Amino acid sequence: MKMMNQRQVYGKKLVELGEKYKNIVVCEADLGKSTMSYMFQERFPERYFEMGIAEANMVSFATGLALTDKIAFVNTFAVFASGRAYDQIRQSVAIGKFNVKVVGSSSGLSDFGDGATHQAIEDLAIMRAIPNMTVLAPMDAIELEKMMDVIVEYDGPVYMRVNRNDLPALYPEDKPFEIGQPVVIREGKDIT
């Protein structure tokens, strides 16, 4: 089975979308080499904003960019997006329905090596509780890439989690992604 890395695909796809959409901007919380947003920085330095370890400020800044018709991609670890930046995501981005795409990298237990402080086991629950927030968790890098094509066209707040590790490619390459639509990997009769 083919293995793919969501972070690598995310970084490359962000550059591809940046070529097509001149209003995409990227905000990063000092993790560009880890989230792979550095790829966008290398290609479009004038549209890349390194905010340091200031996740809450970064989200507020991205909201301001969204007010100027930018599509703002905000990158940090999932645990920091759902924790340190929660108030700004809820108050500034989601309640106002602004076009900010919060990308939580190293989601779930995929960052096991950095310990419990970097493990986002509650990010989905937190983000799903926020009004107006569309929450996406791609099963693999193929679905992630298809999701990005959709969310860049979606006018509103999105939280998308990105896994740190290589994962098996499962999503059918010929199937388009639609927000809110389930994907059947294979039919079966032995489980519900």
For 63-85, what is each residue's pLDDT tens digit?
999 999 999 999 998 888 988 89
Domains observed in the chain:
3-166 (3.40.50.970)
Read off the pLDDT of each residue in 140-166 and give the average, rounded to a whole number. 95
* Residue type at 3 in one-letter notation: M
- Residue in 28, 46, 50, 55 annotated catalytic: 55
DSSP, residue by residue, the chain:
--EEEHHHHHHHHHHHHHHH-TTEEEEESS-HHHHSTHHHHHH-GGGEEE--S-HHHHHHHHHHHHTTT-EEEEEEEHHHHHTTTHHHIIIIIITTT--EEEEEES-BTTTGGG-GGG-BSSHHHHHHTSTT-EEE--SSHHHHHHHHHHHTTS-S-EEEEE-SSEEE--S-TTSPP-TT----S---SS--
pLDDT digits (tens, 9 = 90+) for 9-28: 999 999 999 999 999 999 99
Q: What is the distance between the alpha carbons of residues 101 and 188, in angstroms, rounded to a whole number?
A: 35
Q: Which of 39-43, 161-165, 181-185 has the highest mean pLDDT?
A: 39-43
Q: What is the distance between the alpha carbons of residues 100 and 27, in angstroms, rounded to a whole number?
A: 10
Read off the pLDDT of each residue in 134-153 and give the average, rounded to a whole number. 96
**Confidence band, pLDDT 50/70/90 cuts, at residue 41:** very high
42 a catalytic residue: no
140: left (phi over 0), alpha (psi -120 to 50) or beta: beta
Question: What is the pTM assigned to this prediction?
Answer: 0.92
Q: What is the distance between the alpha carbons of residues 115 and 118, in angstroms, rounded to a whole number?
A: 6
Model pLDDT, residue 80: 85
Angle made by CA atoms 40, 43, 45, in degrees to the nearest 5: 80
